[in-house]
Structures are given as structure tokens and as C-alpha cells.
Amino acid sequence: MPPVITDIEDLHRLYRRRVPRMFYDYCQSGSWTEQTYRENETDFDLIRLRQRVAVDMEGRSVRSKMIGREVAMPVALAPVGLTGMQHADGEILAAKAAEAMGVPFTLSTMSICSIEDVARNTTAPFWFQLYVMRDEDFIDRLIERAQAAGCDALVITLDLQIMGQRHKDLKNGLSAPPKLTPTSIANMMTKVQWGLGMAQTKRRFFGNIIGHAKGVEDASSLSSWTAEQFDPRLDWDKIRRLKEKWGGKVILKGILDAEDARMALAVGADAIVVSNHGGRQLDGALSSIRMLSEIVDAVGDQIEVHMDGGIRSGQDVLKAIAMGAKGTYIGRAFIYGLGAMGQAGVTRALEVIRRELDVTMALCGEKDIHNVGRHNLLVPRGFSGEWDPRGRDG
């Protein structure tokens, strides 16, 4: 009998059993002490919902729009590096599940399946996430490839020009494809389905990079190339130039400060993603949900504000929307589904979240996601704002 999946945690448990340790750990890490990674989740728990009764609940809708695109719910799949290592052809499968559900899929620069692989296997346009690298020719070509593939938004990640250290990845010797050591071989031998899938696909390298970037012909040179290539000189002028080159909708991801949100507005971005990269970059930064309302208050009437980080349920989505986000992203929550059950698992993750969102909305006394707002929440006093930005203790 197939397992009964009732929530995202069920998928997480299966995922943990089915995917090699190295890739499980990659997904389940934050940087250094993992404080921000943990608080992205636990801060959602601090916000409570207002129960309302005797409200007609028939004819509910969680349908909405993200940057003008109709979405079945305000939830997109976040760009996640190495998704095709969590399950063979993972990016293609996740993109198909997103398309069938009617939500956007975002392909990471550091994906295993290439832009062209995903485009060939889907019909709905997807979003392409760009890491800004030193090799400008390569970036120009990536942008052109995304244009040729019909991508309808460019998501530029701003918070990973230098990589935050995740201890487990160093200890595991993370690589794609995995390096064969006695430990990794012993672990992979227990992941039979995963191994069969990987044996049957040719997509085991960073598909957007291998054969496209100069001097990167094999995987062994890739990790050092990545460390060398991410461009630490990225600034707002460069973002402006990239936006011009792209010529379409631009989403700036990794904004966690109201001043940066104003800069994003000034360069003419279509949306920002309030994000700390899933707690994988600046450990000690505040959680995304804590920062959200300040940023919404600063720019929310002039630019679409999205958020990611810590969303593991439809209740979390509802809280983020009620705090003022126009869209949310799930990363780990869909990776659990993918590693657990392939495309069906991603579909299940999306179904679980949509149902939770719908029922939670109803129990809050709302019929339309557009009417959800701060009046639906009980937010503890001082939740987002008792911090002095100049580091004084008052």
C-alpha cells in the first residue's frame, strides 16, 4: 500500500530514507550555527491565527497572481541548486508538477537539468534564477538561453556572492555527481530507487554550466570554478544592466532590509523576494517572516513583495500573505516530495499546501485569498520591530 501522506513532514521522513545522505544534508543545512535556518521555521509558530465563525464559506478561492501571472495559489517553487541530485531528472519532474498545479517553477543556475532540458519537457513558461558571475560572456549567454527557452521572469539572487559555510557539505565532500568514497558508496547502496534512477539518466552534472562555460569541461573543476566565479563586485549598477539585457520581468531575491528594498524599487524590479536564502547565508540574520512586515510597509504599495524561508504548510503561506506578501516560495517542502516520490511527491506537496491554505483560510472566516490580511493574525507585540539598526542598545 502506498504511504498515506498527510503533511509535509510525512514527505520529509520518506525523503530522508530514500536520498543519499550527502544530498539530504545539503538540503537540511543552514550556515554555521543554523540559527537563522531554525528561526525561519520557528518564527512562523509565534504568529497565531484569529478563528472566526458563522461566516459563509462556500465558493472559496486561493487563486491569485504573481507578477501578473495567474497562479492556482500564491506559491511558487523556489530555485534549488542540485535538484536533479535529489531525484533523477528532478528539475524536469518538479517543473511538470508545478505546471499541472498551475504554479510557477523557478530553475536554478546551479541545476542539474539544463534550461533547454526543462523547456523541452514542459509547456508552461518557467522562471530562471541567475547567479551573477565574473564571466560576463557566460552570463550573457545564460540570459539569451533563458530568453530562447521562453522563461517569463528572471530571478536575480543577490545574497550569495560569497557562500555561507555549511559544515555538513564540507564534511560530506558534497559534489555533483557524488564523489565515490567508501562512506558515500556504502550510503548510496542503501538508496536503491535513487541509484536506479541515476543510472538511467545522463543528467548528473550541472547542466547549465558543463560545456557552456569556458574551462569547465568536467565536474572535478566545477566546485573551485564556482568559488572563483561568483562575482563579489555585484552592485546596483550591474543589476540595472542585467535588467536591461533581459528586457522582461525581473524579481530580485535575497532582500532582507528596507533600505535594500528601496534600492530594488529604484532599479525598477517587478518584485522582490524577502529572503535569507533559507538560512544558508548570513547566519544571525532575522527570519524572513519577521522582516516581512517592515519591508511591506516600506515598499509594498509600489512593488510586489514575495517571501521565502521556513514555509512548511498552508498555514505558513496564509500567515505570510496576511503579513502582506503577494507571493511565497517553497524550497525544502517540494524537495522533500521530490526525493520521497519523484513528480508525484512534488504534486503531493503542492496539494497538501493548497488544501491546508484553503481550509485555514475558511476557518479564519475568509473566502478569498485577496481579502486575507493582518486582521486575520495575532502577532506578538514586538515581533518584527524591537531591533535597533545602528547596533545601540537604546
CA 369: distance to chain centroid?
21
- What single letter denotes the amino acid at residue 126? F
> Would the annotation count 220 as a binding residue?
no
In whole angstroms, the minimum distance from the beta carbon of 163 to ligand GLV comes to: 7
- CB closer to ligand GLV, 69 vs 280: 280
Using CB under 6 A, list all residues that contact ligand GLV: 81, 110, 160, 277, 280
In whole angstroms, the minimum distance from the beta carbon of 272 to ligand GLV comes to: 17
**Does residue 173 contact residue 184 with C-beta atoms inside 8 Å?**
yes
**Does residue 85 contact residue 384 with C-beta atoms inside 8 Å?**
no
- CB closer to ligand GLV, 249 vs 277: 277
Q: How many residues does the chain have?
A: 394
The one catalytic residue among 277, 306, 370, 375: 277
- CB closer to ligand GLV, 279 vs 300: 279
Q: Examine the residue annotation and report whether 277 is marked as an active-site residue of this protein.
A: yes
- What single letter denotes the amino acid at residue 148? A
> Would the annotation count 332 as a binding residue?
yes
* Whole-angstrom distance, CA of residue 46 vs CA of residue 24: 27
> Would the annotation count 8 as a binding residue?
no
- CB closer to ligand GLV, 277 vs 332: 277
- CB closer to ligand GLV, 178 vs 324: 178
DSSP character for 286?
P
In whole angstroms, the minimum distance from the beta carbon of 283 to ligand GLV comes to: 13
Helix and strand totals (H; E) in the chain: 16, 12
> Would the annotation count 275 as a binding residue?
yes
In whole angstroms, the minimum distance from the beta carbon of 160 to ligand GLV comes to: 6
* Whole-angstrom distance, CA of residue 94 vs CA of residue 102: 12
> Would the annotation count 224 as a binding residue?
no
> Would the annotation count 310 as a binding residue?
yes
- Helix (H) or strand (E) run with residue 26 in it: helix 21-27
In whole angstroms, the minimum distance from the beta carbon of 277 to ligand GLV comes to: 6
Contacts of range 191-200, beta carbons closer than 8 Å, 24 or more positions apart: 191/18, 191/19, 191/20, 193/18, 194/18, 194/19, 194/20, 194/87, 194/88, 194/339, 197/87, 197/88, 197/89, 197/342, 198/88, 200/88
In the annotated binding site for glyoxylate, the residues are 26, 131, 166, 277, 280
In the annotated binding site for FMN, the residues are 79-81, 108, 129, 157, 253, 275, 308-312, 331-332
In the annotated binding site, the residues are 26, 79-81, 108, 129, 131, 157, 166, 253, 275, 277, 280, 308-312, 331-332
Positions annotated as catalytic residues are 277
